[in-house]
Amino acid sequence: MRNIIIALVVLVTFSSCQQQQKIAFVDNTKVVNEFNKKVEFEAKFKTKIEAFNKKADSLNQAIQMEAQLFQGRAAKMNQKKAEEEYNVLLQKKQMQDYQIGNEEKALQAEGQKQIDTLVKEVKAFIKDYGKTNGYTFILGANEAGSVLYGADATDITDTILASLNKGDKKEEVKTEE
């Protein structure tokens, strides 16, 4: 009886070691860059950046015109008056540069926050996708070389991307298992 129990334990242990693990990899960069939400965000954000650049250019042109007018008038002014106007103009330019710099930083922070949110969404999606589809591991491939080689049959990048853009975590995976 004791030998039968030991044999069963050995058999169960051996069979659990023989279970095949389902492993695949995803090209992180491609998934994030081709994620519809990121593409849409970039298009909207590009419009914001263009509007910001037009505003900054317009403000710079206005201050340049003021500077040119000042130069024309400065020759006819006494030195003290010219220095006062120059200092006022200089302060105005510094305030404008400060304002533009702050707006640019806010725009960059907004863009980075949105990209970070999208990356987190992609990671969560891949995690849920892996659980739903019975994967033991889904590895991330990128330029840094976290996956140096993977058989084409284990590359689920396009499947993940299509499923992510469709919003479906249960799409069938066409890989050899």
Residues in the chain: 177
Structure-model confidence comparison of residues 164 and 15, the more confident one: 164
pTM value? 0.70
State the pLDDT at residue 173.
43
Supply the pLDDT for residue 77: 84
pLDDT surpasses 90 at 40: yes
User: Does residue 64 fall inside a structural domain?
Assistant: yes
Residue 141 pairs in a beta bridge with 27
* Tokens matching residue 2: 């004791």
Q: Give the pLDDT score at 82.
A: 86
- Check residue 7 and give its pLDDT: 54
Q: Does 5 fall in a domain? A: no
Q: What is the pLDDT of residues 96-150, one digit of tens each?
A: 999 999 999 999 999 999 999 999 999 999 999 999 999 988 988 887 767 767 7
Evaluate whether residue 133 is within a structural domain.
yes
Whether 114 and 35 have beta carbons less than 8 Å apart is answered as no
By residue range, what is the domain housing residue 52? Answer: 17-166
Helix (H, G, I), strand (E, B) or coil at 140: strand
Distance CA(89)–CA(71), nearest Å, equals: 11
Count of domains observed in the chain: 1
pLDDT bracket for residue 2 (50, 70, 90) = low
Indicate whether 57 belongs to any domain.
yes
Instruction: Please indicate, yes or no, if residue 60 is contained in any of the structural domains.
Output: yes
- Tell me the CATH number at 149: 3.30.910.20
Whether 26 maps to a domain, the answer reads: yes
* Residue 26, amino acid: V
Name, in order, each residue with C-beta under 8 angstroms of 77's C-beta and a sequence gap of 6 or more.
Answer: 85
- Of these ranges, 9-18, 54-63, 165-174, the one predicted with the greatest mean pLDDT is 54-63
CB neighbours of 18 closer than 8 A, spacing ≥ 6?
Answer: none
**For residue 172, pLDDT beyond 80:** no
Residue 12 inside a domain? The answer is no
What is the per-residue pLDDT for 143?
77
pLDDT of 55-107, one tens digit each?
999 999 999 999 998 888 888 888 898 889 999 999 999 999 999 999 999 99
Has residue 177 been placed in a domain?
no
